[in-house]
Amino acid sequence: MLSFQSLQQPLKSKLIPLSNSSTISSYSNFKFNNHKRKQLPLSHRNDLRIQAIDAAQPFDLESKIVQRFEKSSKLKIAIVGFGNFGQFLAKTLVTQGHTVLAHSRSDYSHIAHDMGVSFFACPDDLCEEHPEVILLCTSILSTESVLRSFPVQRLKRSTLFVDVLSVKEFPRSLFLEVLPPEFDILCTHPMFGPESGRDGWSGLNFVYEKVRIGDEELRINRCDRFLKVFAQEGCKMVEMTCGEHDRHAAESQFITHVMGRMLEKLALESTPINTKGYESLLDLVKNTCGDSFELFYGLFMYNKNALEQIERLDMAFESLKKQLFGQLHTVLRKQLFGTEAGKTTVP
């Protein structure tokens, strides 16, 4: 590459004769061999006409720096549990240039191959690849058995473990109990899925807590690079404790799933005169019941705040019924006796 000072010096336009009739018309087409370089006078070496001064070559320092930067910003991520949600996340990870490995009880090798993901049927073989991040995409109910049987002893010490469960206090406690203290822990919840995130992740919530991240710069940087995966897609990054998350999720996500499941029991169908509100209810059923009942049960079983919400919902429904029937009683009494409720006529 040329320095700024060298660009300020005037360049001579004289062409250098190579043979009887050949001349150099472009620096990019000019090739020296060692023999002619020795024979070429020094004064002639400065008479080059340079027409392309910013064409980076593979051996250029600038090109090497760019390659090192791109390599340092990418991660080797192993997805454990390569089902629907694991594949959903893998698409974006691969698109961003990260190296993605996968392991699952079911054989997803063909799907992984088509996505550019390396699939490992054996978890030991997966760990031998020494991924920087282990991303657990298992179901809530199977997380504990998967983690306790995972060969963590084959991983590098300080490997970052990340979960994406819809409950957070449960995996946090499990990670702290099972994983050796050298491992880093990041609890996350992308509050969207293949259905709600099919058109992009921009504006969607991503909740996380840095449960245990080492003080070393490399470990801090690795955690930040993983979070950048979602920030780069436009997610709204929300940092909060796992306990806070579960309280809020019980009041929002769990209630949403309860209402969707209840409406599914009614077998609602589209009508020729749907209102916008009714369309929203049909969409709610589609979005919530598209998930497995195992997920719904996990939201109830592993969030201690869920039972309270069920009880509140039951009391709210009873209160609403009393209000409706109470109003109906007033109307019927007025029709029967021609008086307001609570008043009697004297014969």
In whole numbers, what is the pLDDT of the chain averaged over residues?
86
Spatial separation of the C-alpha atoms in residues 130 and 91, rounded to whole Å: 21
Q: What is the pLDDT of residue 63?
A: 59
Domain 74-240 matching CATH 3.30.499.10: the answer reads no
pLDDT digits (tens, 9 = 90+) for 177-198: 999 999 999 999 999 999 889 9
Q: Grade residue 24 by pLDDT with cuts at 50, 70 and 90.
A: very low
**Beta pairing, strands 76-80 & 133-136:** parallel
pLDDT digits (tens, 9 = 90+) for 234-256: 999 999 999 999 999 999 999 99
Residues carrying CATH 3.40.50.720, the chain: 74-240
Question: Dihedral of the CA atoms 323, 324, 327, 332 (nearest 10)?
Answer: -140
Nearest to 208 by CA among 244, 155, 234: 244
pLDDT digits (tens, 9 = 90+) for 59-97: 566 655 555 555 568 999 999 999 999 999 999 999 999
Spatial separation of the C-alpha atoms in residues 254 and 239, rounded to whole Å: 20
Q: What is the pTM for the complete model shown?
A: 0.74
Question: Dihedral of the CA atoms 215, 188, 118, 71 (nearest 10)?
Answer: -40
